[in-house]
Structure 1
Amino acid sequence: MLSSKEEVVSASNGLHYDRARQIKAFDDSKAGVKGLLDAGIQEIPQFFVMPPEEICYKKSGSNLQKPQIPIIDLKDIDKDAMRHKEAIREIKQAFEKWDFSRFNEQPTEIKHEFYSRDSSKKIPPNPDELPATCREIIIEYSKQVNKLGLTIFEQLAEGLGPNRDYLLDMDCAKGHYFVCHYYPACPQPDRTLGTSRHCDPDFITILLQDHIGGLQVFYLDQWIDVPPVEGALIVNAGEMLQLITNDKFSSAEHRVVANSAGPRISVACFFSTRLQPLERLYGPIKELLSNDTPPLYRETPLCDYIAYYHAKGLGKSVLPDFKL
């Protein structure tokens, strides 16, 4: 007899199926989702089908007009004092209001060359392990995206008040890594998602997406499209930034919808804690606290947060479980 986790009733035809067995067969095939599409399937496997309420565009019946994700131009911010001050205000406002923003001045030639190569796994620490055909561009892209990350952390720190290097001194940018995603065209995009709703377990994420789009952020009780903008990268706040800023900046809940126009490719760079000692404690920045603004989170060992996040899996923020 199947357990409740193994037996699932199809919402469309009422039939029972062995979910665990189907997933194992899929994993054992080593073909992946692309293999299914190459085989010419017209219906997605049942274990990919998601409840309609998880796929729906809005969480509720909100009819609010969908606002636009802010676009911030970083050109000349270190040459023009007025533009520097204005950029700090724009970045701070974007992270406070949206937790999501776009940053211009992405070198277009790097973007196109990067996508013309095959890099389907995160960048390893040893450059010699990278395929020769894309080694130089990945290393160069990594350097450039790291420079952007450092700039964003400096601007955020100035906006918060402590000092320009405060977040960098906390090692928020000590390590970054890439995750490259490939989403084949889906024959039934209205029955599943590319990536389900979640928050990132890092400080910030810098995302490069192609022209297909599909990214959505949850804002004002509805899902907002984040369409591609030529020459811009997408930046969103992660849970660790929310924790250390004591909810001054909230982590951005987002997802990727399935589409039939694919394939869609994206490259996410996570400024995370992967290179940190696992016993390191992270808690709200003390300079942001006062009698009127007490800490909302307990100081948490990095290993506890990482273990809990991965044990819970993708979904809503796990930070409420770390509140005082």
Structure 2
Amino acid sequence: MKPVYMPFTYLSESTARILSALVGPVVIYQPMKKNIPQSLTQLASQGLVEIRTPMTKDDDRLHAALSEFTDWARMNPGKSTPGAGFIGQRQGEIPFFDETTINRIRCDIKRFKLPSDGSDRASDIVEAGFSARLFLALAQDNDRATDHLDHDLSRFKVLEKDFLASLIDADEVDFNRQILGGTTWRDDPGKKLTAQRIRAWATLAAADADPPEMMITTSMAVIDMLLESHAAVLGLEKLAGIRVAVQDAGSLPRVGRVLTDLAVRDSLPSADLASFEALAADAVSGSTATVSLFIAANRTPATVIRRMAPANPIPSAPNGTATPLRHTLIVLVED
């Protein structure tokens, strides 16, 4: 069963290795074929992720739009990335998906125009897809810059700890080396424009000719939003949460095999979770992670994804035979 990372289009190497060890290589969607981050292509070459670009129409138009925002960022110093500036400027709004979508895009990127195909609905769907990809591309710039900053801060903390450990008689009344050398706090990127991220990502995922079979995230904020906004419609609920061992590279992803079995069962009462809960027995030493399991019972992943999307995109022709999945599993992985 192929897991897909949601609702982000960027992940760090450390995250990719953890997810691969737990469930196998994850699919990560990209808003455009141009300018895919080199770090992601390296992860793909190592077999840790699979890169997909379900929407490729208007790539040149999207690239031009991103260039416009890059120029805007250069003229507005103090913003770390074009994505950070654009998203920060619109906190509290619903970007790209309200009734002013076309006007906003035209104003912000010099009235890029769509070719007319004679169908208003088709034009709306194409515009929604373009808007979603633009949003995801900007968010990706922001997430990538944040990840690089976190990496640099982590390196600084290592140096700080080494320095503090070298001090003699340092722990005095007003000096605590443990506090100063503590771990680096990292913000959840899913906290920023959570609903918009989910809707933009779902628009991209719904256009995939080979729909995802399981969704996996590292953001508690995303799970909270799904439970708040989609629990009633999708019947989304939490089944269980356990601490599991993160196995070494090259080991078979046991969590992924168990989840595949759960997704095709006729029903999932609590008694059927024994195989999942048994995975916690291995988390006695070494590297571990918390895995929480959520389910939309009797709803396929394709149905769930299309419910999340703000418009009904036109998917590509299906590839091969669909997997006989009965339920949609959403997995939250936390340190």
Q: What is the TM-score of this pair, normalised by structure 2?
A: 0.24
In terms of fraction of residues, the more helix-rich structure is 2
In terms of fraction of residues, the more strand-rich structure is 1
Q: Which has the higher contact order (CA 8 A, sep 6+)?
A: 2
